[in-house]
Every structure is written in C-alpha cells, then in structure tokens.
C-alpha cells in the first residue's frame, strides 16, 4: 500500500467542538485556546460560527472571538457562515475563509438551518458569490452524507447532486460530514468511489465524528483512497446540537499521532497540541474522549 507523504488537517474544535457545549466558555478563554492552537503548527483553524445566537448560544460571541485572536502568519482562520447576514458579520470579524454548510438529507437540513435543501442552495450560491467578491475562499460542508439521524440512509445520488451544485458555485473544497458518527470503512469506500469519479481528491475533505469509535478506521480508508484533507477537533470535543446522539469529531491529536507513526507529515507538533487539549479539558470541566490526551496526562 502506498501512502501520501503529507496530509492537511483542518482544526474545527473551536467551532464544532464548542458549539454543543452546555457550559459557557468565556470569550477570553476561547481566544486563549485558539491562540494556543495557532502555535501548534496547524495551518487551518475554524474559529467560530456566524449563525443565529439563539440557535447556537455557545458561540454567541463569534465577533468578539474573531476580532480578539492573535493571528499567526500562515494560518487560515475560517468560520461557519449560513447566509448573507452571517457573511456580513464574518467579514467584520476579518476571517480568511467562509465555511458554508448544508445537509444531504432534507430533514436534517430543515432542523439545522430552517430551510429545504433547494432553498439553501439559492442562499449558498449568493453567499459564495459575495464571499469570493470579498476575496474570501469558500469551503462547503455536506452533512449527513453517511447517515441522517432522521432519515437514516442517504442516497448517494442526492450527495452527488448537491456536491455538483456546490462545486458549480465555486467552492474550493467540500468536506463530507459523518455528522452522527455512523460511517464504516466499507461505506467510506463506496461513497468515495462514486465521488472520486466526478471530483478530484485534492478538493475533498472528510469530517468524521467518532460517536461509535469508527473515525480513525474511516480516516485510514479515505487516506488509502487518495484523500489527504481531514477535519479534527482537539480533545475530540464536539457534536451537532441538531443531530441527536452525535458526539465529538475524531480528536486532532489522535489523527496526528496515527499519521506521524505512519511517517506521514501533518506539520502539527504533538508536544504543543497535547497541552492545548489538556487546557481546554480543564476549562470545560469534563473528561474528553481523546486517547492521546489520556496517555499524555498519565505521563505527567
């Protein structure tokens, strides 16, 4: 089996990780954590969401966070943007990349963003146009690709149709979301076989939640099929409040450890990332699922 020499990691902890936290994390703590993550070698951090504060109260300080961080050269700071209003706020916050999002299943899309997929496509076309005019790159998420909490199985034809539209709008990358952490390696193979016939591997990212412990196996399968962009959340924090039963993303440090041991470059320094994971665990005050964090703590 041949493997790529390097991969790219997208850190989504400050957004996906914190959006579902019932405990309020103070703005200055969010900023302090993002600043620590900026020093780890990560080249991409999704720092918050410019969504409606009533829908995601944990990130209601998005603008203060975006304005308050110390930016490090070479790091792309992205944020979730659902619509025009979100884009206006994100531009005020000085973000580098807009992450638009929608679901492959109709029911989750309506529960999550209050619109049909057809209406969402209209909104995202305009947001992508406007973001690009403002010199932002645009990344898109397609959620529930590997299963929907309401509709269960999601037909691959639906995934392809929506991905086609998003790429037509001019997104630079599509992140395929296993929102509820239900995917398995055989399913990853089937989905990627279909998508790689239409889209280059260099424009596809994988976003695995680890609800059932299959995230690393899924990442390895995707890697073997040529994917080199993976989303992770430091500590394994996270979940979607509108996807019952979903838990955190694959922990960034577990992904980094696996790749490092395989001789694949991530550019992330575990010696810096692990203290950042421990720091956020202590701030949030609950045990986080990351395996490497447990090993690190027991070594202290």
Nearest C-alpha neighbor of 103 from the set 114, 93, 95: 114
Give the number of other Cβ atoms within 10 Å of residue 282's Cβ. 10
Q: Please choose, out of 48-56, 127-135, 150-158, 159-167, the segment that lies near ligand HMG by the rule CB under 6 A.
A: 48-56
Query: How far is residue 153's CA from residue 149's CA, in Å, rounded to a whole number?
Result: 9
- Residue 56 binds ligand HMG (CB under 6 A): yes
Give me the least distance between CB of 255 and ligand HMG, in Å please: 15
Give me the least distance between CB of 179 and Mg ion, in Å please: 6
- Residue 141 binds ligand HMG (CB under 6 A): yes
Site string for ligand HMG, 219-248 (x = CB under 6 A): ---------------------x-x------
Query: How far is residue 228's CA from residue 8's CA, in Å, rounded to a whole number?
Result: 6
Residue 111 backbone dihedrals phi, psi, to 5 degrees: -65, -35
Q: Please choose, out of 106-114, 250-258, 264-272, 291-299, the segment that lies near ligand HMG by the rule CB under 6 A.
A: 106-114
- Residue 82 binds ligand HMG (CB under 6 A): yes
Residues 116, 108: contact at Cβ < 8 Å? no
Nearest C-alpha neighbor of 107 from the set 141, 153, 175: 153
Tokens matching residue 12:
């989504």
Residues 149, 243: contact at Cβ < 8 Å? yes
Question: Which C-beta is closer to ligand HMG: that of 143 or that of 214?
Answer: 143
Q: Residue 139 binds which entry of ligand HMG, Mg ion, none, with Cβ cut-offs from 5 to 8 Å by kind?
A: none
Site string for ligand HMG, 162-181 (x = CB under 6 A): ---------------x-x--
Give the number of other Cβ atoms within 10 Å of residue 186's Cβ. 9
- Facing residues of 57 across strands? none
**Known catalytic residue at 148:** no
User: Site for ligand HMG (CB under 6 A): which residue of 6, 26, 28, 85?
Assistant: 85
Give me the least distance between CB of 32 and ligand HMG, in Å please: 23
- Helix/strand/coil for 243: coil
Give me the least distance between CB of 249 and ligand HMG, in Å please: 7
Query: How far is residue 205's CA from residue 177's CA, in Å, rounded to a whole number?
Result: 9
Name the residue with tokens 């997929």: 117
User: What residues make contact with ligand HMG under the rule CB under 6 A?
Assistant: 16, 19, 49-52, 55-56, 80, 82-83, 85-86, 101, 112-114, 141, 143, 177, 179, 207, 209, 240, 242
Please identify every residue annotated as catalytic. Answer: 240
């Amino acid at each position: 089996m041949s493997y790529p020499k390097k991969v790219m990691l997208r850190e989504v902890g400050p957004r996906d990780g914190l959006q579902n936290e019932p405990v309020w994390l103070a703005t200055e703590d969010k900023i302090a954590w993002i600043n620590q993550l900026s020093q780890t070698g990560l080249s991409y951090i999704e720092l918050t969401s410019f969504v409606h504060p009533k829908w995601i109260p944990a990130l209601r300080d998005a603008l203060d966070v975006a304005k308050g961080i110390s930016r490090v050269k070479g790091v792309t700071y992205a944020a979730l943007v659902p619509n025009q209003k979100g884009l206006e706020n994100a531009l005020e916050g000085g973000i580098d990349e807009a992450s638009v999002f929608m679901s492959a299943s109709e029911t989750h899309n309506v529960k999550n963003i209050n619109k049909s997929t057809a209406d969402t496509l209209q909104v995202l076309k305009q947001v992508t146009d406007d973001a690009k005019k403002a010199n932002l790159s645009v990344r898109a998420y397609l959620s529930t690709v590997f299963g929907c909490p309401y509709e269960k199985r999601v037909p691959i034809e639906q995934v392809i149709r929506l991905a086609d539209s998003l790429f037509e709008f001019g997104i630079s990358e599509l992140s395929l979301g296993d929102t509820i952490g239900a995917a398995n390696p055989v399913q990853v193979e089937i989905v990627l076989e279909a998508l790689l016939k239409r889209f280059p591997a260099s424009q596809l990212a994988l976003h695995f939640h680890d609800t059932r412990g299959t995230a690393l196996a899924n990442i390895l399968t995707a890697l073997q099929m040529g994917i080199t962009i993976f989303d992770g959340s430091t500590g394994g924090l996270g979940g979607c409040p509108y996807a019952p039963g979903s838990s955190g993303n694959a922990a960034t440090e577990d992904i980094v450890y696996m790749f490092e041991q395989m001789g694949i470059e991530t550019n992330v320094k575990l010696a810096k990332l692990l203290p950042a994971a421990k720091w956020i665990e202590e701030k949030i005050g609950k045990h986080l699922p990351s395996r490497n964090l447990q090993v690190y703590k027991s070594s202290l």
